[in-house]
Amino acid sequence: MPADWVTAARKRVRVIDAFEARDTEAWAGLRARLWPDAGADDLNRECRAFAAGEDVPSIGAVFVARDGHAGVIGFLELALRPFSDGCESMPVPHIEGWYVVPEAREQGIGRALMRAAEDWARARGFTELASDAEVGNVTSLLAHARCGFAEVERLVKFRKPL
């Protein structure tokens, strides 16, 4: 169920929609901006597979934000994880990716995307939504807090090559 919203200053209608196949290229491009160290080919392959209706374990649902010209300016993707640290229910919808182009930030687009994910989860009987962010990603930490998320723990992961 799409959620329309209007920016007061510009009076431009922006729409949050469920992903459609026509969004594949734009969504893949935004994913590459969010995860620049990931392989662009792999990100594109996942997008094409999801668009084709294939099972992509890390992507259960995708929502896109469109500008007044139907261009994709943001996305939120989530997956169902068997569990998520700090959550009481299992499985739990988990925000895997959430991105709005820099020039469109601070206008409520991220919150509108999050509301679409919340609505999707509630409609399927879920009672929690999980997400994570890197400790140093202050922008993401603040965005999560503004959307009502509560921090449940911090974790430092280690690696030792052998």
Residue 60 has pLDDT above 80, yes or no: yes
pTM of the predicted protein model: 0.86
What mean pLDDT comes out for the span 115-119? 95
What CATH number is given for 3-146 in this structure?
A: 3.40.630.30
Percent of the chain with pLDDT over 90: 76
The encoded tokens of residue 70 equal 């139907």
The tens digit of pLDDT for each residue in 68-90 reads 777 899 999 999 999 998 899 99
Neighbour-count burial for 140-150, b at 16+ CB within 10 Å, e otherwise:
beebbeebebe
Boundaries of every domain in the chain: 3-146
β-bridge partners, 18? 63
Residue 152 has pLDDT above 90, yes or no: yes
What mean pLDDT comes out for the span 35-64? 94
Residue 1 has pLDDT above 90, yes or no: no
Residue 21 has pLDDT above 70, yes or no: yes
CA angle in degrees (0–180, nearest 5) for 112-117-123: 125
